[in-house]
Amino acid sequence: MRGNYIRGVHSYGVAIDLASCSQVDVEGNLIESVPNQITYIRIETRNTPGTNLGASQSINVRGNVLVAGGVNQIGIYADNASGGASGGVGRAHGLIVQGNQVGSPDAGRYFGAGVSVHAQQGGWSHVSITGNHVQGISGGAPVDGLIGINAYPAVGNTDVQIVGNLVRFLGKGVQSSHIGIYLGANTQRVLVESNLISDCFYAVRSADTVSDFVYGEDNLISGSTMANTLFVSPPSKAHLSAAVDWTPGTVSPGALVSRALSVLARR
């Protein structure tokens, strides 16, 4: 799905919707001048009463330009809900969100969430969020943070890398929901490295059940209102840039997490 121009009012809450899809590229699209409160790009599990069509696999969202046209819109949102199916839903696997421009012109046209991944009942594994420019006013829905990872308590997201993104709060963060990067409950094997984050209330915040969390000390943070970081459980910290190749797209999602953990293990 490449090179489309999308604008105007949408009746069903989403501009581009991938439901129970596999091996799909969403690349080089421009979405702007959408006035109603919608999600611009959605990756989800298609549900019908009492069943679902299975989790999405191998989704690439690259090089899109998303310009907010209304208030509290959502840029890119991936989740994996079971739809009440008795057998549940399998884990979604392989999401690359790379090199997208998610822009908010002003307080009347802004994204409340730039890139969000929610496990719902199934969870995601091997998620790579790299090299994106995200600006907005984070409001906590569907996930805290301009870039946010979250889960229901029983199911988490695993092998998540958030690397080399530019995250800017529109204006100045003044309350605890104004977060740059958020890691929610049961996020496992996660790397946050080489991001530039500015003007948030908290630049990076994590929940108490985040595990195998590597926080690279090469993140650059400025203008935080309350604190640069708020970690309930302290992550592993290290200067990793000399030991790991961070170039977006050179490795599969989750591979940087394994490299970073192996580097720490040798120290």
Report angle CA 147, 152, 153 to the nearest 5 degrees: 120
Name the pairing type of β-strands 51-52 and 47-48.
Answer: antiparallel
Please state which of the ranges 113-122, 146-155, 252-261 shows the lowest mean pLDDT.
252-261
pLDDT at 255: 74
What mean pLDDT, rounded, does the chain reach?
A: 89
Assess whether pLDDT exceeds 60 at residue 242. no
178/88: higher pLDDT: 178
pLDDT at 95: 96
Task: Please give the full DSSP string across 96-138, using - where no structure is assigned.
Answer: EEES-EEE--BTTB-EEEEEEEE-TTT-EEEEEEES-EEEE--
Q: Which domain holds residue 174?
A: 5-265
pLDDT at 266: 65
- Count of structural domains within the chain: 1
pLDDT at 130: 93
Assess whether pLDDT exceeds 60 at residue 206. yes
Q: What amino acid occupies position 60?
A: N
Beta bridge partner(s), residue 130: 98, 163
Please tell me what DSSP assigns to residue 2.
Answer: B
Assess whether pLDDT exceeds 60 at residue 248. no
Cβ pair 146, 180 in contact under 8 A: yes
Please state which of the ranges 33-37, 131-135, 227-231, 237-241 shows the lowest mean pLDDT.
237-241
Q: What is the CA radius of gyration of the chain?
A: 17
How does pLDDT run across 51-60, given as a tens digit for each residue? 788 899 999 9
How does pLDDT run across 8-22, given as a tens digit for each residue? 998 889 999 999 999
- pLDDT-based confidence at 232, cuts 50/70/90? confident
pLDDT at 263: 67
Assess whether pLDDT exceeds 90 at residue 101. yes
Token pair recorded at residue 89:
């839903």
Cβ pair 186, 149 in contact under 8 A: no
Buried b (16+ CB within 10 A) or exposed e, 8-45: eebeeebbbebebbeeeebbebebbebbeebbbbbbbb
Assess whether pLDDT exceeds 90 at residue 42. yes
- pLDDT-based confidence at 128, cuts 50/70/90? very high
Report angle CA 114, 82, 149 to the nearest 5 degrees: 25
pLDDT at 234: 82
